[in-house]
Amino acid sequence: DAGVTQSPTHLIKTRGQHVTLRCSPISGHKSVSWYQQVLGQGPQFIFQYYEKEERGRGNFPDRFSARQFPNYSSELNVNALLLGDSALYLCASSPRSGGAYTQYFGPGTRLTVL
Amino acid sequence: RKEVEQDPGPFNVPEGATVAFNCTYSNSASQSFFWYRQDCRKEPKLLMSVYSSGNEDGRFTAQLNRASQYISLLIRDSKLSDSATYLCVVNTNTNAGKSTFGDGTTLTVKP
């Protein structure tokens, strides 16, 4: 079975632009979470979606938004990019909502903002 | 103070050594605990869940002390392939799908 897939793998943008990152969860998984990982730090939680509804939001500005589609894939949107948004963006899926479930991560999208 | 704190590392050990990583968490409502492994420029991958009774998977042993809010990972007979960053992860089951990660401890196993 295919794992979590993300696209694109790498992206270079300039300040002020917007970006859309995409994620397809493991087949049968209904929960998708997004994380930002800055170099040298652990992943930081951005959003979690389950059954197309937002279930959790981390401490990120409103420039960050996300949604989940009927097929459980998800998009993360970031507007008005800042240099500090440069990071690895990770998508994780799990079968259901709930912290006891293992999360499986995709390979990430590496975003560079110039 | 971070919600999940880990030994800063890095740990540089010879092959065959035993190494232990520690992790503390501040949220007493935390219910689920994991160790993930992350190779350079790759995604985190689950190494093992951590149970109250402690659990072992081959050369890896994880322990949880709820009273002290402390988690540990022991690696015996280190292999070169164990070189990676080890991330401590804590979940509160009410925060569905939100995992709180430590910043990781980097291990380098040398020949």
Which residues of chain A, if any, have pLDDT below 50? Answer: none
* CA distances for A6 relative to A81, A101, B20, B104, angstroms: 20, 21, 33, 23
Distance from CA of A86 to the nearest CA of B (A): 14
How confident is the model over A59-80, as pLDDT tens digits? 999 999 999 999 999 999 999 9
Q: From the list B45, B97, B102, which residue is nearest A33 (CB)?
A: B97
The string of pLDDT tens digits covering residues B29-83 is: 888 899 999 999 899 999 999 988 889 999 999 999 999 999 999 999 999 999 9
Task: Look at residue B96 in the predicted model and tell me its pLDDT.
Answer: 55
From A110, A86, A103, select the one nearest A30 (Cα to Cα). Answer: A103
Write out the DSSP string of B70-82. Answer: EEEEEE-S--GGG
HEC string of chain A?
CCCCEEECCEEEECCCCCEEEEEECCCCCCEEEEEEECCCCCCEEEEEEECCEEEEECCCCCCEEEEECCCCCEEEEECCCCHHHCEEEEEEEECCCCCCCCCEECCCEEEEEC
Partners of A58 on chain B (C-beta within 8 Å) are 98
How many percent of chain B have pLDDT more than 70? Answer: 95
Q: Which of A40, A98, A103 is facing B93, going by the closest CB pair?
A: A98
> Where does the pLDDT of residue B97 fall: very low under 50, low under 70, confident under 90, or very high at 90 and above?
low
The pair phi, psi for residue B66, each rounded to 5°, is: -65, -35
Given a contact cutoff of 8 angstroms between Cβ atoms, the answer to whether B71 and B25 are in contact is yes
The β-bridge partners of B107 are B11, B84
